[in-house]
Amino acid sequence: MSFPRYPAYKDSGVAWLGELPEHWGVAPVGTRFNVQLGKMLDASKITGAHLRPYLRVFDVQWGDINTDELPTMDFDPADRARFRLMTGDMLVNEGGSYPGRAAIWNGDLDECYYQKALHRLRAIRPSADSTRFFYYVMCWATNQGVFVAGGNESTIEHLPAERFRRYRFAFPALPEQHAIATFLDRETAKIDALVAEQQRLIELLKEKRQAVISHAVTKGLNPDAPMKDSGVEWIGEVPEHWSINRLKYLIREIEQGWSPQCEGYPVETNDEWGVLKVGCVNGGTFDATENKALPQELEPIHELSLTAGDLLISRANTRELVGSAAVVQHDCPNLMLCDKLYRIRLHAQRGIPAFVSRYLSASAPRGQIELGATGASSSMVNIGQSTILELFLAVPPLLEQVAIVDFIDREVTRLDTLTTEATRAIELLNERRTALISAAVTGQIDVREVTA
């Protein structure tokens, strides 16, 4: 849908605004809104007679304020008069990861306050300005990098009140502000609903992908095959002609690599030596670019070079990623195994690496691997060789392993293609959302008649 432009425009005199509708005004934020920074957290006053809930910087997300389980702090009568939120107040992050991120307080609690690192914006003349309109201005401004310090590409760490008050933006008359905000409320809600549908589709595709792998590696491809009890509770029934073995029965060799202090960048040519990073197996596909260059003064260990068919398993990672497995698809003679990876080579007549790799990504084996992981840190846990060696698996004949892998690869490719399409749809929808907001708050489109 296309929208008309205004009949006449003028130069705004502000670099980031460009041309504006002729009848729009330009003014500093501080002349239209009272910008009030919150109360500094005082650890000595978190208990007392005047405890009240307050918002922190991470409670304010774009367009949304989290009021679940808010902390309390002592706000005396003078503080309460100064920092109490009123319906329609806009909160803007002064610091944190996203300075400028904003949301409007809708009065979810009867009484609530806010701490330092949050600005509260309240229209100086409610009859002239709308925080709903200015919320969309903030969406546009942060996306455009208006608040970037000194023209740098990185976002500033803070948006101080004094600087914030000086930024100049476009302000049409109040009825037009209301019309633009109403239009954007409606259109962004439509887009957000479509994005939510695509996100749900991606989750369903992810679940389907996992189900396809799990079923194929434990139940096979023939739905009419006679079944038997595997004798392993978490595996359940398997095809009658499959055997149940511990993984060590299939393994001919298992080893760990070497993790010297490396450069902070990957190798650029096959003439350079590199050491794999543990993330090279994330996602079940081997990624040779996940490596770090070996310093020239260090001698490489040729025995740790990668060979096509090597099965790599991460032995140290987050709980969700530890035990991730992938197969090296081609020889990488200049890349070495690192200490955080196991390299497994199988008996050729007992198992193929791709089948074992897929098996290790199935739900039930993943559960066993995570149970066997040790470590106090939530960011890094380990699995010992025994966790891998003693893991049970259902083993089909070799030709059936090949057929199962081929089937999984076809299905995973199809599902991944659908996931990519849904992800691209989300990107396009978000681009459309951003473009609509930008065009509306800078007057590049006239939505007054559309809203009416």
What is the distance between the alpha carbons of residues 34 and 27, in angstroms, rounded to a whole number?
13
Rg (CA), the chain: 29
For 391-438, the pLDDT digits (tens) are: 999 999 999 999 999 999 999 999 999 999 999 999 999 999 999 999
Over residues 323-344, the mean pLDDT reads: 96
Give 250-385's CATH code, choosing from 1.10.730, 1.10.10, 2.60.40, 3.90.220. 3.90.220
Please, what's the b/e burial string for 346-375 (b: 16 or more CB within 10 A of its CB; e: otherwise)?
beeebbbbbbbbbbbbbebbbebbeebbee
Task: Name the band, by pLDDT with cuts 50, 70 and 90, for residue 44.
Answer: low
Q: Quick check: 155 pLDDT over 80?
A: no
What is the reported pLDDT for 292? 96
For 113-140, the pLDDT digits (tens) are: 999 899 999 999 999 999 999 999 999 9
Q: Give 451's contacts (C-beta < 8 A, 6+ positions apart).
A: 179, 180, 182, 183
Element (H, E) at 163: helix 161-166
Beta-ladder partners of 54: 113
Count Cβ atoms within 10 A of the Cβ of residue 339 and give its class: 0-12 exposed, 13-18 middle, 19 or more buried: middle
Q: Give 400's contacts (C-beta < 8 A, 6+ positions apart).
A: 220, 221
The domain made up of 25-171 is a member of CATH 3.90.220.20: yes
Task: Name the band, by pLDDT with cuts 50, 70 and 90, for residue 390.
Answer: very high
For 363-378, the pLDDT digits (tens) are: 999 999 999 889 877 6
- The phi-psi region of residue 127 (left if phi > 0; otherwise alpha if psi is between -120 and 50; otherwise beta) is alpha
Task: Name the band, by pLDDT with cuts 50, 70 and 90, for residue 99.
Answer: confident
- What share of the chain in percent tops pLDDT 90? 83
For 11-23, the pLDDT digits (tens) are: 999 988 999 999 9
Residue whose C-alpha is closest to residue 286's, from 331, 345, 348, 346 = 331
Distances (CA, A) of 166 to 32, 59, 126, 192, 260: 11, 26, 20, 32, 52
Task: Name the band, by pLDDT with cuts 50, 70 and 90, for residue 151.
Answer: very low
Q: Quick check: 204 pLDDT over 90?
A: yes
Domain locations in the chain as residue ranges: 25-171, 250-385
Over residues 176-190, the mean pLDDT reads: 97
Q: Quick check: 80 pLDDT over 70?
A: yes
- The phi-psi region of residue 231 (left if phi > 0; otherwise alpha if psi is between -120 and 50; otherwise beta) is left
Task: Name the band, by pLDDT with cuts 50, 70 and 90, for residue 145.
Answer: confident
Lowest mean pLDDT among 11-15, 146-150, 236-240, 243-247: 146-150
Which DSSP category does 184 fall into?
Answer: H
Question: Distance from CA of residue 300 to its chain's centroid?
Answer: 36
Mean of pLDDT over the chain: 92
Task: Name the band, by pLDDT with cuts 50, 70 and 90, for residue 100.
Answer: confident
Q: Quick check: 63 pLDDT over 70?
A: yes
Question: What angle, rounded to 10 degrees, do the helices at 174-219 and 363-372 form?
Answer: 90
Count Cβ atoms within 10 A of the Cβ of residue 8 and give its class: 0-12 exposed, 13-18 middle, 19 or more buried: exposed
Over residues 42-51, the mean pLDDT reads: 69
Task: Name the band, by pLDDT with cuts 50, 70 and 90, for residue 449.
Answer: confident
Q: Are 190 and 145 in contact (CB under 8 A)?
A: no
Q: Quick check: 350 pLDDT over 90?
A: yes
For 256-289, the pLDDT digits (tens) are: 999 999 999 999 999 999 999 999 999 899 999 9
What is the distance between the alpha carbons of residues 385 and 325, in angstroms, rounded to a whole number?
14
pTM of the model: 0.83
